[in-house]
């Protein structure tokens, strides 16, 4: 197996492998190119994101600055909004559904290092070489999710559809659909229900009204 195939399989791989380093260097340089664009340079920004990401749905917007690690392992759905300082360390696959909104400083990480200090420094590969090795677990985020500022999503986490993750949360375990979750570590506070509708907050609603379901597509 190549090191990238090992990465995808969730087993130990060497991040210093020349082929992997080449992917990361290209992506890191593209991050810099994106980060020096102006917000209204929409065509240039779109072209750079197309080079970085595995896929990026229609109607999306990423404020920048951005920091993708591989980029090609990240797939983002339609109508995504990412605020300032989006960081995605996508050694393993990262998928984000449609209509997701991320506040500033959201971080998604997939790589994991051995817990034992000596094993973090080096291990012997199956072919007998002494190398520094890590492994990675994918992150999957459903549709219609809202992340507050400074949310961190850890390796191997799945977050279901329609979730709200409170600001500053560190998500170490998967979160079921339709949940409001928050904290360090992040835990489900409660299920989101009709009682959370803005119709029950007339003082904030100020004469506005929610659209019928499906009308906002």
Residues identified as active-site: 113
* Contact predicate 106/87, CB 8 Å: yes
Give the number of other Cβ atoms within 10 Å of residue 128's Cβ: 6
Distance CA 2, CA 216 (A): 45
Pairing state between β 94-96 and 139-141:
parallel
Residues β-bridged to residue 180: 164, 190
């Amino acid at each position: 197996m190549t090191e990238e195939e090992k990465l995808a399989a969730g087993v130990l791989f060497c991040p210093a492998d020349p082929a992997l380093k080449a992917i990361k260097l290209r992506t890191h340089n593209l991050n810099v190119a994106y980060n020096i664009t102006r917000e209204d340079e929409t065509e240039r920004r779109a072209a750079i994101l197309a080079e970085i990401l595995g896929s990026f749905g229609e109607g999306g917007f990423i404020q920048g600055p951005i920091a993708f690690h591989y980029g090609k392992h990240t797939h983002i759905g339609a109508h995504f909004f990412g605020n300032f300082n989006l960081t995605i360390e996508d050694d393993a696959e990262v998928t984000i559904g449609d209509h997701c909104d991320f506040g500033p400083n959201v971080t998604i990480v997939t790589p994991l290092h051995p817990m034992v200090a000596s094993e973090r420094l080096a291990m012997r590969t199956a072919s007998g070489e002494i190398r520094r090795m890590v492994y990675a677990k994918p992150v999957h985020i459903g549709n219609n999710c809202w992340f507050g500022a400074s949310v961190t999503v850890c390796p191997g986490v799945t977050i279901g559809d329609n979730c709200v993750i409170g600001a500053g949360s560190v998500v170490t375990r998967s979160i079921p659909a339709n949940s409001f979750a928050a904290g360090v570590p992040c835990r489900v506070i409660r299920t989101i229900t009709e009682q959370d509708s803005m119709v029950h907050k007339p003082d904030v609603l100020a004469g506005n009204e929610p659209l019928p379901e499906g009308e906002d597509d």
